[in-house]
Chain A
């Protein structure tokens, strides 16, 4: 019976082959316009990223092939090392303080009956503020003469004054706290969405068996939230290695490269110094990190069988 049905349907298809065929392939007409934009904006630049590092291109005259010299220069470049270290610090920061804060806030929100949406809206509203304006607000709050520091002075707490952005060792952290103010809300919303989907009966059963909140959190909540936490962490690391906006706005990478990230360095190299080849060699580092992360993530999914 199955084969008879199959026969019939193929016969039907043969009846009007040309029209049917055109109908099947015509779907591509809907894909092509968007793919053209995507290829111009993503794929072609990506190919360039793979080729440019081996050239001395300045963006204007014809490029010369220079072998691996850009890479050897990058390995010896102290600024690259500083910037990479800052990107690592950036991702460690985002994986700890804001994520933990978001987790706590989401755990509190899930137990609140009224105002869930209002709180979420308020927490996310900071992300609406243009990054250049956000930078300005916080430059001001950190400012020794107009911000928090001036109040500490007035209240006789001058010894607590911290010239955050001017001190190389604190500058990056100052930028990070601004970035956190702007970006923590999204994490709260995502974690809360995941928590809302959790199976409540498991928690109730465990509580009846006398499990404390820590055990419930560890054995029941966290395993259910794992897909979200893993994805969130991966996206956080990916974006941390591309951190640009807030640094560019607040410090331009200074003082003395203390807040330089790979992206701000690449930006200055290519726009100000017209060293496209060398800048591309450094951006290949970002590319490699992204690929490593994605491969690691896929492997994790395969070996652990995580349903993400």
Chain B
């Protein structure tokens, strides 16, 4: 009756523990008092407290951080889905003359490094320092090529006959995109949306340079400020850290399958 357990679960579980333990440590320490954490840095709290969360929320101005991060993420996702979706439609079904040049150009640009220095100074010149668009435009433009390929690969699977029959019925290109292509490509759009959200949520190179004023800082970079102000207060840092990452963790838990299948496809099709 005893079911034989695959020995492979042992090493796999050990690595799972390696992945999860530091996160658990963050969560546990966020509930400890300052003295507790000094004497007992890695164990369970001797007395649980929520004070760290209240303190971190006000001292780290997390409300503003959430607003900034959400605004940037939502704007980037919507713009990216729109422009990359339209372009992917053009490169999969419309194929206007010369569009294969665009495909080639986008493919080449995929692997080029981010030109951070000019990007920053373009923002300076355009007056986009301390402006959400100072990061939104580079995020949309920077992710464009990759997302076009992801969406295009999906749209190539939509049958030409379906598109043609709609055209015969008098539908224009935009109507075909809105009524046929976009709804059928929904799974690919969701993958683009979740990875774009994750990317903008966690980006710090540009955000730290461009959004200098406290009022515009995203959660990821305002965590850096918090770190310099409260470097000794581990429990406060832990609470702030939990609140900074929680939305992404929830998104991940809700859409685990999509995340994984998105990565698998991205890896195979690159």
Interface residue B150 (Cβ < 8 Å from any Cβ of A): no
A45→B115 contact, CB < 8 A: yes
Q: Report how far A25 CA is from B260 CA in the complex, Å.
A: 38
Interface size, B (range): 35 or more
Interface residue A124 (Cβ < 8 Å from any Cβ of B): yes
Q: Report how far A292 CA is from B136 CA in the complex, Å.
A: 30
Chain A interface, DSSP helix/strand/loop, else mixed: helix
Q: Report how far A128 CA is from B256 CA in the complex, Å.
A: 11
A31→B86 contact, CB < 8 A: yes
Q: Which residues of chain B are within 8 angstroms of A125 by Cβ–Cβ distance?
A: 19-20, 23, 249, 252
Interface residue A150 (Cβ < 8 Å from any Cβ of B): yes
- Chain B residue nearest to A48 (CB atoms) is B118
Chain B interface, DSSP helix/strand/loop, else mixed: helix
Q: Which residues of chain B are within 8 angstroms of A121 by Cβ–Cβ distance?
A: 252, 256, 259-260
Q: Which residues of chain B are within 8 angstroms of A294 by Cβ–Cβ distance?
A: 108, 111
- Most B C-beta atoms less than 10 A away, residue of A60, A101, A129: A129
Please pick, from A37, A111, A113, A147, the residue contacting B79 in the complex, using a CB distance under 8 A.
A37
Interface residue B64 (Cβ < 8 Å from any Cβ of A): no
Chain A contacts with B in 110-145, Cβ cutoff 8 A? 111-113, 115, 117, 119-126, 128-134, 136-138, 140-141
Query: Hey, what's the 0/1 contact readout for A229-254 against B, CB within 8 Å counting as 1?
Result: 00110110010011011001100000
Given contacts A27-B96, A121-B260, contact A126 B245 (CB under 8 A): no
Stretch in A5-13, A158-166, A262-270 with 4+ CB within 8 Å of B: A262-270
Whole-angstrom distance from the CB of A22 to the nearest CB of chain B?
11
A46→B141 contact, CB < 8 A: no
Interface residue B205 (Cβ < 8 Å from any Cβ of A): yes
Q: Which residues of chain A are within 8 angstroms of B142 by Cβ–Cβ distance?
A: 41-42
Please pick, from B97, B121, B138, B227, the residue contacting A132 in the complex, using a CB distance under 8 A.
B227
Whole-angstrom distance from the CB of B156 to the nearest CB of chain A?
15
B204→A245 contact, CB < 8 A: yes
A280→B227 contact, CB < 8 A: no
Interface residue A34 (Cβ < 8 Å from any Cβ of B): yes
> What residues of chain B have their CB less than 8 Å away from a CB belonging to chain A?
6, 8-9, 11-12, 15-16, 18-20, 22-23, 25-26, 29, 37-38, 41-42, 79, 82-84, 86-87, 89-91, 94-97, 99, 102, 106, 108-109, 111-122, 124, 137-142, 144-145, 148, 173, 177, 198, 201-202, 204-205, 209, 219-221, 223-224, 227, 234, 237, 241, 244-245, 248-249, 251-252, 256-257, 259-260, 263-264, 267-268, 270
7 tightest Cβ-Cβ pairs between the two chains A and B: A41-B141, A27-B96, A27-B94, A48-B118, A190-B267, A34-B83, A45-B115
